């Protein structure tokens, strides 16, 4: 079976898995999202021998799959030619237990006969050593232990263990439960226990969804994007990963295969900003704790653009040859060289979310004067580096420029510190940061503006365009009606738009010319259309983007302009942020329904 990205994630903010349309687990890492895959089939070509968990129905002719409404619980129904049918409910337990959130490194499955006399085969083949081999196993009367690379998983079940060990086809005559989790005894009836966890997990997700402030239109799309963004949170530290996968190429045979299972300061900034629009303050608070730890560790010095979910600075990039790659396309990378890059926009992306803590009275931990003093050291770096070369937000590996987007983010850091100082009654610091913001603004206007064309360029002294110039309005640097921004928008639209989609840039980079559009940039374009009074066009393109989602309601990083196929890592937080932002911006008002 040729792998594709039509996958549905489940998770609990500790672990996650991607489930294909037939109900197979094809990707999951443990004990952390950036760990060794225990299910690696997605990255191992068309016919992997291990790295998956399948429930196969004899005589299968039809499959239905959908989430339980407003949850991260996935329901798959397999139907055979003779009418026999099986229901599979997949989830990662997440609910209150002993007055705290229970989110074990565990996967739950409930398999129920629905009609007829279904005959099923359970194939549970976790992988080890980055997909190089099937995990070794030992077994007892009601459990099987799988010795994976970084974790030992124990399957506890009321299914006869030999059925699983021997992959024996058998008639499913009663409900069966499977709990694949920590290597410890399961201290209750597995059928009752897994069903109780399932019920409580459903309740938990429905209650969380009830707290969201939704736009009137496109609610289903926004809810699914929000739940999936939450699944990209590693709750133990507050980190937010850019995607659940590694090395899905940006387009076929491109070599642009990256590991996105880490916390990029930039991606996380956009994520918490979008979720904050929906009132998801829990994720914001958790991430602010992660940022405060980074600020303390930096001690006024260099901040990397990306860290491990456990705040690790060293996520050394390497290539593994133990799997075939997505559709056989290598390389498969583990780690990301971006941790070595200079990307000066990160200083703004640290300051902007942390400044909210000084204003937002919902937070359990409001910002303090001590927090402001620590944040000023980040502002010092932003000011010092606003006119220095970096790799930019697109993370060029061999191209260094003074990128306009990075400089505007440095300006935003100083501008927001001035506002925070004013709110805190620190008038001297307000003037200090206002003056620094003014200096940066003047430098950007002098070095990145092209008076002959009336527009901004993507770098100081350059003429090239990139889609990030559309963010100058969003960051408050330019009003959407400013003639310079209007001309910049027109140039971006003219040069970077292909059909309904927008490229990040079109000039060759380290790997040649890009061939796929970047989904987040298309959402930026949709926002810009609206701000330029072209709302109906914006809505048409937004609907086009929604039509390109997987059956799970999600998007990856990139899209083919030829056939609309999704490429790049999945599910991509940037793209889900775009869904939320555009839905909120373009929706009718609730007053239209009241």
Per DSSP bridges, beta strands 85-91 and 74-80 are: antiparallel
Residues in contact with 558: Cβ distance below 8 Å, sequence separation at least 6, in sequence order: 250, 251, 516, 517, 518, 519, 566, 567, 568
Report in angstroms the alpha-carbon separations of 458 from 392, 394, 464, 557.
10, 11, 6, 21
d(CA 102, CA 201): 10
- Per residue in 99-110, pLDDT tens? 899 999 999 999
Tell which CATH classification among 3.40.50.300, 2.60.40.10, 1.10.287.3510, 2.70.98.10 matches the domain 8-209: 2.70.98.10
Distance, in Å, from the CA atom of 562 to the CA atom of 559, rounded to the nearest integer, reads: 9
To which H or E segment does residue 535 belong?
helix 535-547
- For residues 75 and 89, the answer to whether their CB atoms sit within 8 Å is yes
Planar angle of CA 322, 245, 338, nearest 5 degrees: 90
Return the domain boundaries, the chain. 8-209
Q: State the burial class of residue 164 (Cβ atoms within 10 Å of its Cβ: 0-12, 13-18, 19+).
A: buried
Sequential DSSP letters for 152-187: EEEEEESS-HHHHHTT--EE--S-EEEEEEESS---
The encoded tokens of residue 90 equal: 């997949």
CB atoms closer than 10 angstroms to residue 324: 18
Of 292, 392, 286, nearest to 346 by C-alpha is 392
The pLDDT of residue 85 is 98
Q: Tokens for 526?
A: 């949709």
Distance CA 379, CA 344 (A): 11
Helices in 299-361 by DSSP H: which ranges? 346-356
Q: For the chain, what is the total number of helices (H) and then of strands (E)?
A: 14, 32
Instruction: Look up residue 357 and give its DSSP letter.
Output: T
pLDDT in tens, 267-288: 999 999 999 999 999 999 999 9
Within 13 Å and on the Cβ side, how many CA atoms surround 174?
A: 6
The pLDDT value recorded for residue 394 is 83
State how far the alpha carbon of 428 is from the alpha carbons of 218, 355, 442, in Å. 46, 18, 22
Q: Which of 475, 477, 451, 479 is nearest to 463 (CA)?
A: 451
- Give the DSSP per-residue string, 205-255: HHHHHHT----SS-HHHHHHHHHHHHHTEETTTTEE-S-S-B---SSTT-S
- From first CA to last CA, the distance across the chain in angstroms is 49
Q: Which residues of the chain have a pLDDT value below 50?
A: none
């Amino acid at each position: 079976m040729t792998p594709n990205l039509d996958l549905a994630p489940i998770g609990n903010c500790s672990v996650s898995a991607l489930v294909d349309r037939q109900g197979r687990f094809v990707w999951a890492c443990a004990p952390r999202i950036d760990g060794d895959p225990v299910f690696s089939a997605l990255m191992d070509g068309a016919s992997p021998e291990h790295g998956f968990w399948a429930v196969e129905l004899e005589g299968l002719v039809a499959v239905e799959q959908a989430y339980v409404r407003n949850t991260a619980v996935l329901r798959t129904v397999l139907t055979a030619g003779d009418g026999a049918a099986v229901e599979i409910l997949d989830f990662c337990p997440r609910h209150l237990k002993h007055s705290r959130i229970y989110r074990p490194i565990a996967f739950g499955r409930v398999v129920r006969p629905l009609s007829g006399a279904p005959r099923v085969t359970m194939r549970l083949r976790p992988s080890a050593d980055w997909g190089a081999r099937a995990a070794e196993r030992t077994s007892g009367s009601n459990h099987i232990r799988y010795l994976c690379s970084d974790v030992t998983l124990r399957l506890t079940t009321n299914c006869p263990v030999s059925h699983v060990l021997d992959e024996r086809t058998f008639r499913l005559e009663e409900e069966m439960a499977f709990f694949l989790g920590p290597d410890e005894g399961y201290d209750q009836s597995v059928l009752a226990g897994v069903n109780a966890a399932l019920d409580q997990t459903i309740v938990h997700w429905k209650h969380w969804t009830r707290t969201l402030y939704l736009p009137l239109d496109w609610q289903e799309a926004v809810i699914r994007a929000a739940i999936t963004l939450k699944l990209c949170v590693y709750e133990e530290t507050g980190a937010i990963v850019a995607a659940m996968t590694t090395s899905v190429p940006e387009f076929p045979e491109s070599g642009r295969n990256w590991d996105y299972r880490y916390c990029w300061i930039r991606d996380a900034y956009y994520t918490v900003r979008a979720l904050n629009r929906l009132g998801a303050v829990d994720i914001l608070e958790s991430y602010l704790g992660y940022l405060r730890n980074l600020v303390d560790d930096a001690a006024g010095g260099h901040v990397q653009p990306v860290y491990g979910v456990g705040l690790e600075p060293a996520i050394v990039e390497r290539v593994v040859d133990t799997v075939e790659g997505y559709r056989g396309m290598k390389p498969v990378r583990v780690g990301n060289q971006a941790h070595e890059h200079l990307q000066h926009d990160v200083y703004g992306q640290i300051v902007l979310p942390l400044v909210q803590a000084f204003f937002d009275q919902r937070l359990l931990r409001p910002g303090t004067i001590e927090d402001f003093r620590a944040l000023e050291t980040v502002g010092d770096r932003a000011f010092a580096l606003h006119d220095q070369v970096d790799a930019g937000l697109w993370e060029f590996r061999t191209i260094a420029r003074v990128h306009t987007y990075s400089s505007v983010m440095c300006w935003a850091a100083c501008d927001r510190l001035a506002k925070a100082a004013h709110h805190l009654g620190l008038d001297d610091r307000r003037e200090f940061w206002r003056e620094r913001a003014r200096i940066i603004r003047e430098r950007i206007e002098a070095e990145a503006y092209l008076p002959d064309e009336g527009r901004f360029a993507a770098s100081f002294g350059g003429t090239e365009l990139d889609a990030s110039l559309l963010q100058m309005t969003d960051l408050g640097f330019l009003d959407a009606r400013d003639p310079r921004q209007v001309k910049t928008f027109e140039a971006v639209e003219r040069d970077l738009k292909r059909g309904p989609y927008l490229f990040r840039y079109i000039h060759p980079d380290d790997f040649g010319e890009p061939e796929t559009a970047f989904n987040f940039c298309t959402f930026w374009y949709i926002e810009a259309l609206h701000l330029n009074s072209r709302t109906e066009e914006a809505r048409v393109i937004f609907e086009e983007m929604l039509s390109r989602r997987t059956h799970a309601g999600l998007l990856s990083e990139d899209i083919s302009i030829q056939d609309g196929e999704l490429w790049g890592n999945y599910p991509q937080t940037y793209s889900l942020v775009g869904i939320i932002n555009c839905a909120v911006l373009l929706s009718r008002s609730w007053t239209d329904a009241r």
